[in-house]
Structures are given as C-alpha cells and as structure tokens.
Structure 1
Amino acid sequence: MKASDLPEIEYPQFYKPYIIALKDLELDQILVHSKSSFLETLSLLKETDLNFRYAKGKWSVAELLIHIIDTERIFQYRVLRLARNDKTKLPGFEQDDYINFSNAENRTLESLIQEFDVVRDSSILLKESLTQSSLEYMGNVSGGSMSVRAILFMLAGHVVHHEKILRERYLNL
C-alpha cells in the first residue's frame, strides 16, 4: 500500500502533512527509505551544530533529534498496542515537556545518530512482524481513530517532515 492510498478515516487530519510528505511511497519500503535519507542528512552535521537554534525559542539540533527519537518510540508503542488488538484508549503526549527533560545539552552527535539508527531498526522489525490483517486494526489514539498502518506511515512521515526542517532551517540546504 502507498501512503496516497491510505484512507483518511484511518487517521486524524492533524497527521495529514506526515502522510502527504510520503507521496507515493510503499509501506513496505518507507521505514527503510526514510531511515537512509535521514542518516544521510545527519552525516552533514558537525558536533558544534548540536546547540544551534535557527530562532529564539526553537529547539536546538540536539533537541530536534531527541524529539524525533522520542516520537518514534511513542509511535512504536502505539503500533504494538493496536496490532495486539488492545482497545484501551491511548493518550497523546506533550512534546515540549519531553524536551525539557531530555538532557539534550549533554548528548553527542554520535550517540544521537546511533540511537536513531537503533530505534528505527526496531520500528522496521516491529513492522515486519505484523500480519496484513493486524495492519488494518484500528484504535483510539490521542482522542482520534487510527489504524496500525496509518501510524507506521506517520512514523516515517514525521521523520521526513523534520528532515526537511533540519535541511532548510538548520543546515540552510
């Protein structure tokens, strides 16, 4: 299935920009594709870039990377719960609160790249473990209805979205 084929009833409209960012990419390849593209962009960074903020009040590069990693983990958890047909309502999370306690200022570029790499590999393995029918399971996440496959697309689209921001606003590419 392509991102463009995902029915809009399978995700809240808030997430639509993440789905659109994927264009016509297939679910089977999107996690691997977005990982390799993002790692390529991260290879352009230097250690001294980690504390850079493109504007006052915006996250530093390190905080942005931690946000991506944290969100990946939270989306993985959502995928697991829904794929196991858990009908419990899953709450949202406040991304800024997570960043406030992230210890970003003490992280190295190497550690952040390694962590993203491992966390994404975990997402890929989780996706590969799912059956076709479990990808269609729906649940209540952040007050809206979502499918497992929609969350997987969102997970990839979230990275694509932030990679674009990283390239344009932090790296001026």
Structure 2
Amino acid sequence: MIPKPQPSEYNAYYEKYVQSIPDQADVLEVLQKQRYDVLQLFGRVSENEADFAYAPGKWSIKEVLGHMNDTERIMAYRALCIARGEQNSLPGFDENDYVAHAFFHERTLAGLLEEHKVVREATIALFDSMAPAAYPRLGNANGSPVSVAALAFIIAGHERHHLNILKERYLVKL
C-alpha cells in the first residue's frame, strides 16, 4: 500500500487533490475503481453532448477528459523519473496551453475514453511495479519537491476533482 504523503512531499497547490483521498484508502484501489467511475460517468454523455461547455471560455467535456489524460501521463512520468532517482528538476506545464494545442474537439469521446483506459492501466502498472522504497523518494517538479507517493495521490485526487466538476457543472445542464 502506498502511504499517504505528508504536506512536505508536495506543493500546497495539490493539497485539495491529496486530501480528497481518505487517509486509510489504498490509492491503487482508488485508481482501479476510478476506471469504472469514468466509464459510468462518460457513458451518460453522447458524442454530440461531448462538445458541451457549461459556460463561455470553459473546457468542453471532451477537453476535460483530454486534460485528465494529459495530466495523468505527466504525473506518472514524474513518478517514474523520481522513482528511478532523477536529480534534475522536471518541467511544469500549462494545462490551458496543452488543451488549446490538443484539438480534443476533433476527436471522438469514445477515442478519448479508450485513451483514458490505456493511460490508467499504464499508471496502475507503473505504481504496482515499484518497490515500497520508491514511494517516499523526493524529486523536484516545476520548482517544488514532490514524492512518488504524492504523485499517486495527486493523480487520483485530480481525477476525483474533475469528475465532481463534470457532475456538478456539466451533466446537470445536459
């Protein structure tokens, strides 16, 4: 089981993500369960509805899912690097720029869901393959310290955050 990280193991920006995962939760089980949560939630959305944004300037449903996929890849890459002893600082990213350059609106919802499935399977396999000694290992990402354990919780909490937004702001308006 990956231990819940201490606040010193991640930037305060990620606090809401880390704290959204209960203290005694097995984060790998959370990641596995979220695969089904995503399928259930997005299964309620048609291809036509997937381009819906709840307000001007907000991301569409497809863009939210694409952002979730991109962010998970980046956080998992950070975890891999840090677990393997990377000493160099890992770069940050601007999620708005990533979404703007991804052309998610040109993709199908089904394609984005398939991508999510593959990305999540890779993430689970990565964390599952790590020795427990890797979890507390600290590295630097975007100018802040972060542990491998924190990255697992950030991935799970980030997805939980966006699934809640989709339920509260998108699906209620469809």
Please say whether Structure 1 and Structure 2 have the same fold, judged by a TM-score greater than 0.5.
Answer: yes
Q: Check the 8 A contact 2:139/2:146 in 1, yes or no.
A: yes
1:52–1:80: structure 2 CA closer, same or farther, 3 Å change rule? same
d(CA) in 2 for partners of 1:70, 1:110: 16
Where do 1:12-161 residues align within 5 Å?
A: 12-24=11-23, 25-161=25-161
* Structure 1 residue 92, shift from structure 2 partner: 0.6
Q: Check the 8 A contact 2:2/2:149 in 1, yes or no.
A: no
2:17 counterpart letter in structure 1: Y
Deviations 1:95-153 (A, max 9, x none): 11111111112111110110000100000000111000011110011111110010011
The SS at the match of 1:145 is strand
Deviations 1:58-90 (A, max 9, x none): 001111111000001101110110010111101
* Structure 1 residue 27, shift from structure 2 partner: 2.3
Q: Which stretches of structure 1, 4 residues or longer, exceed 3 Å deviation after superposition?
A: none
Q: Check the 8 A contact 1:30/1:153 in 2, yes or no.
A: no
What stretches of structure 1 of length at least 5 have no aligned partner? none
What is the root-mean-square deviation in Å for CA atoms of aligned residues? 1.5
TM-score normalised to structure 1 length: 0.94
TM-score normalised to structure 2 length: 0.94
Larger displacement relative to structure 2 (19-28 or 146-155): 19-28
What stretches of structure 2 of length at least 5 have no aligned partner? none
